[in-house]
Amino acid sequence: MAETVTELIERISKQKPVGEHQITYDSSSETLEPIYFWILNFMNNLFGGKVEKLIDNFSSSPGSGHFSELSQKRTIMQDNVMKTLGAVNQVIKSIINIIYDLKDFEIRLSHYDAAKSKDKDKARAATLALKQIWMDNVDIKRGRGSINMLAQDLSFITLRDAFMAAETIKDVKNLDLNERVIRILAPRLEEFSKWKELSEDELRKRFNIEKNYLKSQVNTLQLYSRWVKPYLKSATQLEMNSDLDKNPALVTAFNTIYLQLNLFGKNKFEFDEAIISKALPQGVKKPKREYYSCVVVDFSFQGIPQKAGQHYVFGGRAVVNFKAYALNEDEITALYQELKKSDVNDVLKLIEGSTTESLDELKKDIDYFLNKDKLDEEKEKKRKENDINPFSALFNFKIFKTKEEKEKGKKEKQIDIKSIKKDNYVESVIRELTKKSATETCFNIYDVYKKAHGMASHDNPFE
């Protein structure tokens, strides 16, 4: 059976609750909702509206109508998830193919750019590469009339070398060639020159079209991710908790339900106020770790689902446990860390794997192609600045980081439960003061609820 929140807190902090109270309310006509929302609203007043719901588990007996209805809803959610995930996979495949195409286009376009270079050797090499591409892809379609076939089959041995050597028709006249070779070579050079111009324009158009298509596919993938996450989360939340199946309150043929809810509220210990009120002596150094007075409210409810219109209401027996703890920030971080290991978070990681992680693998290529123009402009701007100011490289560093850069550098704090340090003397005094505050807050929630509902209560031990 999985740990409850209170068991988890006690394992992390190695302490029992400093205050504990219980209310048991048994009524088949009264529902859980008024109890839950009254306590939630009252706790929000005490904890500044920052009460968290840590646990929300349920299980219905398989023979109940509630079980059947929720199973249908879950199936609908799962169908929507599977359809959207299928679309996600198709878009990812499309993105991969587009990136490969763009890389091919970029290699081809690099020859055209190099052919215009002022470096004669570089331009010559690029022109030779383009001539080779033209012969292999365009001229080869002439069959036996292509340059390669003429050189191979019809003994035009000098034709291929002459085509590679000559850059213009004027160059052809300066080469030592017979008239038959010149008659074939001159129109081929003219044709190559025209192809070079038109093919570059066409390639650049296709490159830009593919780049825009890549952007639209990335946006589509992000949109699908946003769509599928709520369905995936809802489908997981509608799954019944298998840990509750063995609860004796759930009998297969009965119309019963069992619910587990948990509320968690915390207030930070105000160190400066403790100094002013002389709860702590003057001159005490504030510890690095913050301390919190915490109240955990556990709801265990076993009831009978009754359909009212489109929804169900639950009458039955509610057991509400109020527990107080004094925890430091390391212990609270470890608590959240352990709770994140729940099934819901595990399932959400699956969609992260199929979308976010897939995009991260391709991120370098995606960013390169989508931001290429911007990066080229920035490089050119930097180059001009460096040309103007030769000393700029000496001072090319940042003393102050922007807020965004600081946030990027922050990583989620990870806590090893075994390595949480014990309280030093000052921290142990603060923890004792925090325990008193937590105990009093816990009693007040319990006491006020009972009095507000006309129940007998205890004398307040804190007055």
In a domain, 378, yes or no: no
* Structural domains of the chain, count: 2
Amino acid 13: pLDDT = 84
Residues 187 and 281 in one domain: no
252 or 194, greater pLDDT = 194
User: Is 201 in the same domain as 322?
Assistant: no
> Which pLDDT score is estimated for 395?
35
Does one domain contain both 12 and 134?
Answer: no
Same domain, 333 and 448: yes
- Residues 98, 214 contacting (CB under 8 angstroms): yes
Domain boundary among 170, 204, 232: 232
Q: Alpha-carbon distance 287 to 276, whole Å? A: 17
Instruction: Answer yes or no: do 89 and 27 share one domain.
Output: no
pLDDT band at 132 (very low <50, low <70, confident <90, very high): confident
Query: Please, which pLDDT band fits residue 393 given cuts at 50, 70 and 90?
Result: very low
Q: What's the confidence (pLDDT) of residue 296?
A: 93
20 and 100 share one domain: no
pLDDT in tens, 68-104: 677 777 787 778 778 887 888 888 888 889 888 888 8
Q: Is residue 141 situated within a structural domain?
A: yes
Domain span at residue 307 reads: 5-61+252-352+419-452
Report yes or no on 297 lying in a domain: yes
d(CA 64, CA 257): 9
Do 437 and 274 meet the contact criterion of CB atoms below 8 Å apart? no
391 pLDDT above the threshold of 50: no
Same-domain status, 88 and 12: no
Cα 228 to Cα 222: distance, rounded to the nearest angstrom: 10
d(CA 433, CA 271): 10
Q: What is the pTM of this model?
A: 0.58
Q: Are residues 194 and 343 in the same domain?
A: no
pLDDT at residue 214 tops 90:
no
| DSSP states along 133-182 | HHHHHTGGGGGGGSHHHHHHHS--HHHHHHHHH-SSHHHHHHS---HHHH
| pLDDT at 161 > cutoff 50 | yes
Burial (CB count within 10 angstroms: exposed 0-12, middle 13-18, buried 19+), residue 228: buried
Is residue 182 located within the same domain as residue 292?
A: no
Picking from 199, 232, 265, the residue at the C-terminal end of a domain is: 232
